[in-house]
Structure 1
Amino acid sequence: MTERSTRTRRHPLGRLVAGRGGPDTRFGARLALGTAVTALAAVPFSLALVLVEAHWAPLYRFDQDVAERLHRSALGSPVRVRLLEVLTHVAWGPLTMRLLVAGVVVWLLRRRAYRLAAWAAVTATAGGLVGLLVKNVVERARPHLPDPVAHAPGYSFPSGHAMTATTSCAVLLLVLLPLVPRAWRPLPWVLAAVAVLGVGYTRVALGVHWVSDVVGGWLLGLAVVTATTLAFEAWRGDTGRPLTTPAEGLEPEIVTEDPEPASRPGGR
């Protein structure tokens, strides 16, 4: 038995849905399990939402204390404020993240990886729409600080920057990891973590979000990625492909699949 087959058979989702049932039974089991896992992934965000909506005093004091301390630090350093603005709007900004995802989608379409391209596009789009919907339902005001160093429109919870960074980095990681040599794979994870954590810090340091807004964006982004990824895994199972793990990427076969079979010797 190869290392690949052993790793696949040990996948917990694969063990739970495997059995003697027909395709409909196995798909039903995967659907039920995926729904349960998605609901579980949404629990942390739901808890954060409840605490925000209830105006829980310890959370309010924590948000206020962090915002005031970072604001005082920003007031004394215009250069630092400028750097934070470049990081939050350019390096890790939503436009940059969405352009990176769009580039990956185009590359996948050129390789004829249509379902993976659809997953990437749907994940990014769903993340943006869900975040906007929750913002307008919660209607939490942004921080009001004396002598603000930055301004942002709209409501505060959850942070759209934090959520976009989470969903976009997840898409980039799960699509591109198979292309990275195994010895180098920790590097993309580190870069993604720096981007996600870094953009969250910039939003709080600039005084346009509370800490709980940023955490809410991270948690909601993870819930969206979990839901779409489990749906993609259900498709893989129905087509007979082995289930994967985050360490392998969402579709490891993309490395070996030939996007232009007609160009091979002997092809049509």
Structure 2
Amino acid sequence: MVRSLKHPSRQDSDRRLGMRLTFAVTAVALFSVPFILLLVLVVASFAPLNDLDEGIARWMHAYVLADPDYARFLQFWTDALGPNTWRVLVVAAALWAWYRGARRLAVWAVVTIAVSGLLNLAVKEIVDRARPVLPDPVSWAPGASFPSGHAMAAATGTSVLVLMLLPRLGSRAARISAWALAAALTLFVAYTRVALGVHWLSDVVAGVTLGVVVTAGTAAGFEGWRRDEGRRPAEPYREGVEPEAFRR
């Protein structure tokens, strides 16, 4: 009789966990849609997208060109919030997690930021899209244009850091503020790349969405590991990928 009473509870737990994992996979798929669409349109040189990119690039470039102080401001912050900054911050957070005994969490963080960077380089190599060529450029960047490495690194880095630190943020307001700050930083970095004339709008949109996809995908994988370990189901966006981390 006792065994039969426990069985439905286990089934309910498994069902709830399955729903959470399904939601995570669905979120990954949904964020993949805009990236895949942009990838197809860019590779096909879709004229309306090219016209939109060129129009926005020239409009933003003209505004920045008219204000050298603003151009220097954007250049400073686009460098300060570049990919290497996010890599250093994530590795530092991973070392902290390792020291606190959350070694799987540390590995997840490093793997996620590394996969994001390698995937960005791979897609750039495959697509090989040219960067904007504007009169009187105010900035310069090497390599191919699609997707934006700065935008993708910012999206991945901020998301990873928030997911690692959520267990230390007790209140709902603190969690919302953390996600809001992550979104604001990511969007600001994306804006600087277009305003400085080194990326098209579609480049930064693709970078942000692909960064989110990478982070969501590895977070879903981490939740799967938690299930294999018999740990309670977690809601990463609210509790972090490892809720037990840093609480002691």
TM above 0.5 = yes
Counterpart in the other structure of 1:207: 197
Structure 2 residue runs of 5 or longer lacking an equivalent are 1-11
Counterpart in 1 of 2:98?
Answer: 109
| CA displacement, residues 141-192 of structure 1 (integer Å, 9 cap, x when unaligned) | 0000011000000000000000000110110010001112314222211211
Flag the 1:256–1:132 CA change in 2: closer, same or farther, 3 A: same
The residue aligned with 2:87 is 98
In structure 1, the gaps of 5 or more residues are 1-8, 18-29, 258-268
Task: Tell me the distance in 1 between the aligned counterparts of 2:150 and 2:13.
Answer: 36
Amino acid aligned to 1:86: F
Residue equivalent to 2:176: 186
Identity among equivalent positions (%) equals: 47
The alpha-carbon distance between structure 1 residues 110 and 82, as it changes in their structure 2 partners (threshold 3 A), is same
Are the structure 2 counterparts of residues 11 and 142 from structure 1 closer, same or farther at C-alpha, using a change threshold of 3 Å?
A: farther
Q: Secondary structure at the match of 1:254?
A: coil
Q: Is the 2:147–2:207 contact (alpha carbons within 8 Å) kept by the matching residues of 1?
A: yes
Selected match of 1:230 from 200, 214, 220: 220
Matched residue SS, 1:255: coil
Compare 180-189 and 66-75 and name the one that shifted more: 180-189
Amino acid across the alignment from 2:69:
V
- Aligned equivalents of 2:82 and 2:43: distance in 1? 27
Residue 61 of structure 1 corresponds to which residue in structure 2?
Answer: 51
TM-score of the superposition, structure 2-length normalised? 0.88
State the shift of 1:43 in Å.
2.5
CA distance in 2, matches of 1:169, 1:40: 20
**Counterpart amino acid of residue 220 in structure 1:** L
Contact residue 159 and residue 214 of structure 1 kept, 8 A: yes
Q: Distance between the aligned counterparts of 1:221 and 1:41, measured in 2?
A: 10
1:251 aligned residue: 242
Amino acid across the alignment from 1:243: P
CA deviations 1:60-79 (Å, max 9, x no partner) are 11101100001111111110
Call closer, same or farther: CA 1:12–1:144 in 2, change over 3 Å: farther
Q: Does 1:170 align with 2:173?
A: no
Task: Please give the TM-score of this superposition, normalised by the length of structure 1.
Answer: 0.82
Rounded to whole Å, the distance in 2 between the matches of 1:166 and 1:235 is 24
User: How many residues are matched?
Assistant: 235
SS at match of 1:170: helix
Give the aligned partner of residue 6 of structure 1.
Answer: none
1:82-140, Cα deviation, whole Å (9 max, x unpaired): 000111111x2212211110110110110111110010000000000000000000000
> How far off its partner does 1:45 sit?
1.1
Is the alpha carbon distance of 1:195 and 1:16 closer, same or farther for their aligned partners in structure 2, counting shifts above 3 Å?
closer
Kindly provide the CA deviation profile for residues 215-237 of structure 1, in whole angstroms up to 9, marking residues without a partner as x: 01011111111221111000001
Counterpart pick for 1:196 among 186, 202, 205: 186
Letter in 1 for 2:241: L
Aligned-residue CA RMSD in angstroms?
A: 2.1
* Cα distance, 1:54 vs structure 2: 1.0
2:123 is aligned to 134
